[in-house]
Amino acid sequence: MHALITRTQAEINAAYEKLSRANVLGCDTETGGLNPRKAKLFSVQFSDGDFNVLVPTSENIPLGKLSEILENEQIVKIFHNAKFDLGFLNENGYQTNNVFDTMIAEKILTKGANQSVSLAETLYRYFAVDLDKSQRKKFGRNWDRVWTKELVEYAMNDVTYLPKLMEEQILWMERLGLRDDFEKQMKKII
């Protein structure tokens, strides 16, 4: 999988030009822990399903113009467990508007089915995609801040499938008459 790792202003501007034309974007963060007040934000990832961008904030690279994408009301930002990511984005001064949470959608869709709503399990159910989450444990206090090919691939896999997943979940929620339930739950996190 190819991902643009933005380390220069020109790369951030090029990524902005491409991503700002999207209607929906998968978004995710990689962090050094669970508490946004104590842990570091290591990266922010974006994907329209084809074009993938990783901003290595661990290298003191700010989002620059890409922060405008998070704020843009016209672009749906898709997260899996948005509350977690939004906590880190907010703590680092980034506001995010127009959010869709695939984890909440999956909770609504599987209510009572006793199924995991983890991203790995969800993507496997919908697309038979087997996410390797073993790289996640490398992010921590002792991480050397080197973005290996494996870490980039891990980070991008968490966002690449989100636009298609949202599309499938919306279809199922509409078929089952669950869209209002989803909207009520989303209001609780935003």
Alpha carbon 44 to its chain's center = 8
Range of the domain at 129: 4-189
* Domains identified in the chain, total number: 1
Token readout for 6 is 């933005």
Instruction: Name residue, tokens 């906590």.
Output: 87
Cβ–Cβ contacts within 10 Å for residue 73, how many?
7
* pLDDT tens-digit profile, the chain (190 residues): 689 999 999 999 999 999 999 999 999 999 999 999 999 999 999 999 999 999 999 999 999 999 999 999 999 999 999 999 999 999 999 999 999 999 999 999 999 788 999 999 999 999 999 988 888 888 877 889 889 999 999 999 989 999 999 999 999 999 999 999 999 999 988 7
CATH code of 117's domain: 3.30.420.10
